[in-house]
A and B are shown apart, each in its own frame.
Chain A
Amino acid sequence: MSMMIDITPTHFDATAHFERKRRLAFAFPAVILAYFAYIFFAFDIMGLAERARLDNAKILVADSYSYKTHVTRDNRSGALSIAVEGENKGTWPDGTSPDWVDIQSPERTLVTLKHGQEVLLDGNTMRYVVPGYGLITAEVTRRDGVTLDLPSDTIPDWISASEARVDITTDAGRVTLTRARTEVMRYHFGWELFWFTLDSPFYGKSLGELAALAVSSDRIVDGKSNLAAMAHDVWNNRMWQHKDVMWAIFETILMAFLGTMGAGLVALPLAFAAARNFSPFMAVRGAMRRIFDLLRGVDALIWTLVLARAFGPGPMTGALAILLTDTGTFGKLFSEALENVDKKQIEGVQSTGAKPLQRYRFGVIPQITPVLLSQLLYYLESNTRSATIIGAITGGGIGLLLTQAMITQKDWEEVSYYIILILLMVMLMDTVSGWLRRKLITSDDGGH
């Protein structure tokens, strides 16, 4: 009995400890919740619901996988034109038309939409047959503007009508009439003219026909084999601009590559000057560190702006901005790696009578190479993303194309094309850098 230890204080301590932990377990989520409540009001989330334009979202989604063809009649001259997305570059040559447009006479055109709907453009009159609703007639005159005649007394909500403009939107297509022009639009699935534009002899051919053409010896374009002509037409596609897009992707990767590797090359010697065990002068070390901090602290955004003034827009500016920022980052990382090297290996090399440069080459470099390489490759991948953003600021690469396509707010299929390309590019760089990292760092114990 005398051996019994008084456990009261221990018990008391444990209870207090648990109590504290429990309070913390509740306080932590409470603080986060309070912060989110503050953000909710500071960012005006309630107002966001009103400002949000869900119709924009709908356009974006619909446009990203479909395209529309405009059949436009100029109501002043009576001329008819058919164009993909209503763009000049996608205009059907005179006298040709898709099979759902029937040009019966210069003044009479029948457009077949989906679900049995038909639009007849007859002079300045438009007759639109909607099964289940009836015949919509609209006439455009110079004096009265657009006069609309409906089978029902009230105007349904899918038609908006005024004297200046009538807009009929159904799930099969869309018709707009103004004094200047009558326009019928039909939606189709896919990305039209992605490979060949309408002026290419290869437009509208199936994959089998193209394959047959590629191996046949009849030349469609003089002086070129069919395969070369096809490649030329795809590469110079004016609608999708594959040439410019591929150059832009290349520029973005180039920015990331040059920026990262250049920073590595600049940072390595500077890191020696900043490492405690290699640089005997404290003033030099301190100065180097401050330079690294400055380069990192100023940030890529500001470097980009400063450099863009000196060099103008382009990939070089972006590469230099990444180079400057990452010199700071690498300088810090490398000098830390250098401070952690094992002295024994250097002394071993020194004992064989190696000169200082040889000591670095065989005693130090092999030790830090794995760290160095893995950091470089990791940043190469992350800088591919940064280069996209920097390109949007300075004007170069795929970032610029993306922002431009966004600003026009109509080529959403191009926006989705760019987004897919950017994702593929980043994933490719991710895979390449991961592969290189494994290959270089594990297969070879340090690159000596």
Chain B
Amino acid sequence: MTDLTAGQAAARVQSMQAAYMEMTRRKRTYGAVMLIVFVALIVSGFQVADARNAGGFWDGIGNIFQFPGEVLSEAGQKIANLPGLMWKFLPSLIETVNIAAASTLLGALGAVMISLLATRGLAKWPRLIGLFRRIMDILRAVPEIVIALVLIFILGGGPVPAMIAIAIHTMGALGKLFSEVNENASLKPVEGLQSVGATWGQRMWLGVIPQVAPNYLSYALLRFEINIRASAILGFVGSGGIGYDLKNAFSWGQGRYDEVAAIFLLLFGTIVLFDQISSHFRNKLIGEG
């Protein structure tokens, strides 16, 4: 051990302190610069967006309650119609929910397959893991609307194009989450099954799925919430369901605002209801796992 005089020790502390302060200062400067750049980006971004918008922000902000006001006042006058209208649109609403449910199921089934094929240690063909991952990336990247519009051109309108479009995106999105879950699954049951000669399908079905099922279900429920919204939006752009009715009522304009109000209410109620149901079950599932 070297002996330090008090003077040397003090000098060393001082240099350390100086270096530390220097580092802190530099970090703060970087932070400040980044903050300034970020704020500048947001401000200039809003200016560009404002300039390229049909109506300006400051002109429009005063009218923001005009449309909801018109809808509300017309719905208020015809309030007696609302229950009947809601009943009338119920089949479309069921179709929207069905699109979401069927596409979530289809997508989740596909995601289970592709995620198992893309997880190290579980894959049937370990060499193809990278390929399946890229496939998932592409499936995830395609916005639903692109597939839906192409399919509408080929298959005609109706719920099926929307269902397929959402299912494809769901398969990619859930596939990624599922394969993260799979990575944490214990390999012991799989090895045990392998030692008694189980096929790949049996190893997955009996060895992996029981471990990961609660997490799978929880993610699938979350996806279902998202897909209800997606299915309503796709309906508006061109496929079936309540979105399509909303588009018709909306483009009719004044005179059918009671229908718009009824559909808004139905949609809002459905989204909130399914959010509640799914978060209830998700809490249960996560608590269990």
A residues sitting closer than 8 Å to B (CB atoms) are 32, 35-36, 39, 42-45, 48, 51-54, 56-57, 60, 247, 251, 254-255, 257-258, 261-262, 265, 293, 296-302, 305-307, 309-317, 319, 385, 388-389, 392-393, 395-396, 399, 402-403, 406, 409, 415, 419, 422-423, 426-427, 430, 447
Contacts and interface: CB of A to CB of B under 8 A. Distances in A.
B55 A389 contact: no
B229 A299 contact: yes
Nearest to A405: B149
B57 A301 contact: no
Interface in B127-154: 137-138, 140-146, 149-150, 153-154
A50 to B, nearest CB: 10
A301 to B, nearest CB: 5
B271 A297 contact: yes
29 contacts: A36-B102, A36-B105, A43-B102, A44-B158, A48-B155, A51-B158, A52-B155, A255-B49, A257-B45, A258-B46, A261-B42, A296-B271, A299-B232, A300-B233, A301-B246, A310-B63, A312-B53, A312-B54, A314-B52, A315-B53, A388-B145, A389-B144, A389-B233, A396-B52, A402-B149, A422-B143, A422-B146, A423-B141, A447-B31
A385 B156 contact: no
A258 B45 contact: yes
Nearest to B269: A297
Interface in B31-50: 31, 38, 41-42, 45-46, 48-50
A393 B53 CA distance: 14
B105 A32 contact: yes
Interchain residue pairs A-B with the least CB separation, the first 4: A312-B54, A314-B53, A312-B55, A316-B53
A43 B49 CA distance: 41
Contact of B66 (A53, A309, A317, A447): A309
A46 to B, nearest CB: 11
A316 B143 CA distance: 21
A312 B54 CA distance: 5
A311 B237 contact: no
Interface in B56-88: 56-57, 60-61, 63-64, 66-68
B163 interface: yes
Contacts of B64: 306-307, 310
A302 B159 contact: no
B267 interface: yes
A340 B64 CA distance: 37
A35 B229 CA distance: 21
B171 interface: no
Contact of A45 (B31, B160, B264, B267): B160
A291 to B, nearest CB: 14
B183 interface: no
Interface of B: 31, 38, 41-42, 45-46, 48-50, 52-57, 60-61, 63-64, 66-68, 95, 98, 101-102, 105, 137-138, 140-146, 149-150, 153-156, 158-160, 163, 229, 232-234, 236-237, 243, 246, 250, 264, 267-268, 271-272, 275
A330 B264 CA distance: 23
A55 to B, nearest CB: 9
A389 B53 contact: no
A261 B156 CA distance: 38
A338 to B, nearest CB: 19
Which one of B55, B56, B264 has the highest number of Cβ atoms from chain A below 10 Å of its Cβ?
B55
B156 to A, nearest CB: 4
A430 B140 CA distance: 10
Contacts of A399: 145
B95 to A, nearest CB: 8
B268 A298 contact: yes
B102 A39 contact: yes
Contact of A423 (B56, B142, B229): B142
B42 A258 contact: yes
A68 to B, nearest CB: 19
Given A302-B264, A311-B54, A393-B233, A48 B160 contact: yes
Given A43-B102, A247-B52, 16 more contacts: A42-B98, A43-B98, A52-B156, A53-B155, A53-B156, A254-B48, A258-B45, A261-B42, A296-B271, A301-B267, A310-B67, A314-B49, A388-B146, A396-B53, A422-B142, A423-B142
A295 to B, nearest CB: 11
A428 B102 CA distance: 30
Contact of B60 (A44, A302, A311): A311
B42 A262 contact: yes
Given A43-B160, A48-B158, A297 B146 contact: no
B275 A297 contact: yes
A383 B150 CA distance: 21
B288 to A, nearest CB: 14
B217 to A, nearest CB: 11
B101 A35 contact: yes
Contacts of B232: 299, 301
Given A293-B272, A312-B53, A393 B154 contact: no
Contacts of A312: 53-55, 60
Nearest to A302: B264
B242 to A, nearest CB: 10
